[in-house]
Structure 1
Amino acid sequence: MSKSTLPNKASYRFIYSLFVIMVVFHAISFAHNYGRKDFQKDLLLNIRKTIDKGISKAEIQQKLVYVLQIYHTQEKESIVETAREIMPENFSGDGIYITELEIREADKPGEKTDDNMNHFYTIDEQQDEIRVYAVSDIALGENPNYKNYDGQTGRFEIMFVLNKEEVDYEILN
């Protein structure tokens, strides 16, 4: 559109001003949406961390509380032996804790769940204590430089401890 096709200069200025306003509005809108992208990403990662924490507590802590209950009601000698007796399928020989979800997945070939958590355990026979670590592949922890149990850096990590007195958990990152 040129000045010669419009009836007067005022019409040209009006249309040109509308065009400039539209371009500025779109630029501001783009900048705003681009800024919200980081906010939404952080929000989704926090939601994922909450989900990972809840699933880990439901999956691991519940099982460890059951072991503690059996240990006390049946007056067993060792909490470690009680755990090995009750949940042998959860403890692989290489320090990897196998969750119930992974056990069910192995029973149904072809079905793949989206767990995105790595689980490990350590057993201290002398202190009669088991520690189970859960490290997220997705959710970020508070410290981006934290070295996770599985070698990752800065990921959400939670540790569960089973001993004769209690089942406890601690968020390590």
Structure 2
Amino acid sequence: MKQQWKILAGGVVTTSVLFAVPAYFYAQWMALILSFISAVSFSLILLKRNKEKLDHTYKVAATGIILLIIFSSGYIVHDYFRAEYQDEILVEIRQTIDSGIIGVQIKNDMIQSLKYYKSSDSDEMTVSEAFSSYMGDKLNENGTIKPSQEKEGDNISYHYEIKDADTVVIIAVTKVSKGNDPAFKNYDGQTGMGEYVGTLSNGGVEYEKVN
């Protein structure tokens, strides 16, 4: 009997640790799966050690418990992969939304700046001057651009560089949606996030996704 109590105590401690440690690092699924495996393993060990002492009623109960464990494990695995799939779908949706917002914003600012440049009466105006004039107080001195909507700044950061008199670059970096390369070094210091670049020159507007 003492041996059984030791096994039971060991199972409780092991299961608790296997749940607590991953849960502390917000890995809830790993915590659930590891603790479940531990609980099942120790339960089977106890049943095996006591099978000679079990009468028919207890054997039926043990069989029921084992079947319940099997169905529960199947449900956990199914639910886990379903959650993973849903996460992937949400990430794709977020990437699509960010890509659309960024594309519209960068292209609009650059096309309007180019129109401003083309319609200028001054032959001496440069593309960079037209860009600065059109954007106005949206341009911050630290090289960032104020988002059109306040909430947009929580998800996307915009930056600009005046390469020369007739070349301006806008860089947009996402803060939530990931890019294609997880090791990509973003313009704003992040790693692996989505990044889009627009280039304005007197020849027109170029736009591309770089990550």
TM-score (norm 2): 0.65
SS state at 1:161 partner: strand
Identify the residue that residue 131 of structure 1 maps to in structure 2: 169
Deviations 1:17-65 (A, max 9, x none): 5554333122111011112222222221121111111111122211211
Structure 2, unpaired ranges of 5+: 1-54
How many pairs are equivalent?
155
Identify the residue that residue 100 of structure 1 maps to in structure 2: 148
Tell me which amino acid in the other structure corresponds to 2:88.
D
In the alignment, is residue 165 of structure 1 matched against residue 203 of structure 2?
yes
Alignment of 1:1-173 (within 5 A): 3=56, 13=60, 19-74=65-120, 76=122, 77-102=125-150, 115-126=154-165, 128-173=166-211
Which structure dedicates a bigger proportion of its chain to helix? 2
CA distance in 1, matches of 2:174, 2:153: 12
How big is the alpha-carbon RMSD for the aligned residues of Structure 1 and Structure 2? Answer: 2.3
The structure that has the greater radius of gyration is 2
Tell me which amino acid in the other structure corresponds to 1:82.
A
Assess, with a 3 A threshold, how the Cα gap between structure 1 residues 114 and 97 changes in structure 2: closer, same or farther. closer
8 Å CA contact retained: 1:116, 1:136:
yes
CA distance in 2, matches of 1:42, 1:78: 45
Structure 1, unpaired ranges of 5+: 6-11, 103-111
Percent sequence identity over aligned pairs: 28
Identify the residue that residue 108 of structure 1 maps to in structure 2: none
Tell me which amino acid in the other structure corresponds to 2:180.
E
Tell me which amino acid in the other structure corresponds to 1:62.
N
CA distance in 2, matches of 1:99, 1:68: 20
TM-score (norm 1): 0.78
